[in-house]
Amino acid sequence: MKTKKTMQNPYLTGTKIDPSPIEKNQKLTEIIDSTFMAYNAGRLREACRLYSEKMLQPDVTIGMSLAGALTPAGLGKSVIIPMIKAGFVDWIVSTGANLYHDTHFGIGEELFAGSPFFDDIDLRKKGVVRIYDVVFDYKVLLNTDLFYRETMKSEVFNKPMGTAEFHFLIGKFIRGLEKKLKLGDASILGAAYEAGIPVFTSSPGDSSIGMNIAALALTGSKLSLDPNRDVNDTAAIVLNAKRSGGKSAVFICGGGSPKNFMLQTEPQIQEVLGIKEEGHDYFIQFTDARPDTGGLSGATPSEAVSWGKVRPDSLPDTVVCYLDSTVALPLIAGYAISKVKPRKSKKLYQQLPKFVENLKKEYLAAQKKNRK
C-alpha cells in the first residue's frame, strides 16, 4: 500500500516493477511492454513506444542512418525492407559498405552463418571472406564488383550526380534483377527505389562501390558523386518536414559518418544558411559507443542540443539505447509493425528538386535580411 509520502514523491511515480511471468506463445509486444523494465531493456521499451506512438504519426518525416555491418547479417531483408514497405522510413543515410553488401542479396549471391573463431589464414587459402561470424565466397565480391562496373557503364550514369540519384538508378537495376531471378524483396536499394525513398552515402569513396566508380574513372567515365548535392538534398528534406507543418525524426543505428550526416542537416539550415529553425523533434539511437571519449558516435541528444541539432523542448522525446543494432532493430521493428498501421510512402525522392528550390529561396531571403 502506498503511503502519502510515497504518493507525493515525484521520483516514485513511474511504473511499479511487478512484471507478470513470461508465458508460452506470448506476443513480442507484450514481452517488451511488461518485462523490459530497466537498464537498456527499459530504454528499448521507451524507444519502441516513442517510435510507435509519436514518430510514426503521418506528419513526421523519419530519417534512418545505418552504420556497422548490418546488411551482411541479413537485417536488410528481415527488418529494414519490411519497415520500408510499411512506410516506417522516409529517407536513409548509410555507409557505402552496407549498401554494397546489401547488393549481394539483390543479385542472387549467398552469405552464410559461420564462426568468429574460424582460422582466417585457412579462410584466405580457401577463398572465404569473414565479417565476424558471417562468411561468403570471395567470388561474391568479384561478382558484385562486376555488377557495379557493368551497370555503371550505362549512359544514365555517365555524369556527376548526388548519391540519392545514384542509388535510385542502381535500385532500379537491382529491382529488375530481383524480378528476373525471382528473389522477392531482397535488397534495400531495390525496395527504396520502389518506395521513392532517397538513400544517401555520407562518404561515397569509403566502400567498394566508390572503389569501382574510381576504377571506371581511369577509363574515361564521367560518373562522380557530388557531396554538395547530398548536403543540400538532406537539409531540404528536413526543412520541408518543418515547413509543411510536420516534424522531423532521426532513427540512428550505430553512429559514425551516417549519424553526423543526418544530424548536420540542422546546423546546415541554421548556422550555414542562416535560416530560422530549432532542430530535430524526435531522436532514437542504438549504439555501443561511450560519450566520454568525445566521439560523435557516442554523443548524446543533450549534447546535440548545444549544436542546434535537436530542438531543446524535444529532449523528453529522445532515447539512447546502448545495445547492438542487430539485437535492437528486429525488436523495435516487430513491435511497431504489430502496433501501427502502414503509412503511405512520402516518395521524397521524386520531390527533391522542389525541396531544394524551396531551400534556396529561404537561403537567399535570409542572406538578404542579414545584409540589412
Burial (CB < 10 A; 0-12, 13-18, 19+), residue 245, is exposed
In this structure, is residue 196 part of a structural domain? Answer: yes
Report, as an integer, the average pLDDT of 144-154. 97
Q: Please give the mean pLDDT across all residues of the chain.
A: 95
| Cα–Cα nearest to 253, from 96, 54, 62, 68 | 68
Give backbone dihedrals phi and psi of 60, rounded to 5 degrees, phi first.
-100, 130
Q: Cα torsion for 289, 91, 161, 233, to the nearest 10°?
A: -90
pLDDT of residue 292: 87
Beta strands in the chain (DSSP E): 60-66, 91-94, 112-113, 128-131, 134-137, 160-161, 199-201, 224-225, 247-253, 282-286, 318-321
In this structure, is residue 8 part of a structural domain? Answer: no
pLDDT of residue 157: 97
Please indicate whether residue 309 is annotated as part of the active site.
yes
In this structure, is residue 31 part of a structural domain? Answer: no
Which of 77, 247, 309, 346 is labelled catalytic? Answer: 309
In this structure, is residue 305 part of a structural domain? Answer: yes
pLDDT of residue 3: 54
Q: What percent of the chain has pLDDT over 70?
A: 98
Q: What CATH code is carried by the domain that includes residue 88?
A: 3.40.910.10
In this structure, is residue 78 part of a structural domain? Answer: yes
259-307 per-position pLDDT tens digit: 999 999 999 999 999 999 999 999 999 999 888 888 888 888 898 999 8
61-118 per-position pLDDT tens digit: 999 999 999 999 999 999 999 999 999 999 999 999 999 999 999 999 999 999 999 9
Number of structural domains found in the chain: 1
Q: Which of 17-21, 74-78, 159-163, 210-214 comes out lowest in average pLDDT?
A: 17-21
In this structure, is residue 312 part of a structural domain? Answer: yes
Report, as an integer, the average pLDDT of 310-319. 93
Q: Which of 35-49, 147-161, 234-248, 302-316 comes out lowest in average pLDDT?
A: 302-316
Q: What percent of the chain has pLDDT over 90?
A: 88
Q: Which domain holds residue 357?
A: 42-102+161-209+225-367
Report, as an integer, the average pLDDT of 121-141. 98
User: CA 78 → CA 3, 32, 55, distances in Å?
Assistant: 48, 19, 21
In this structure, is residue 20 part of a structural domain? Answer: no
3-state SS record for 145-157: HHHHHHHCCCHHH
In this structure, is residue 125 part of a structural domain? Answer: no
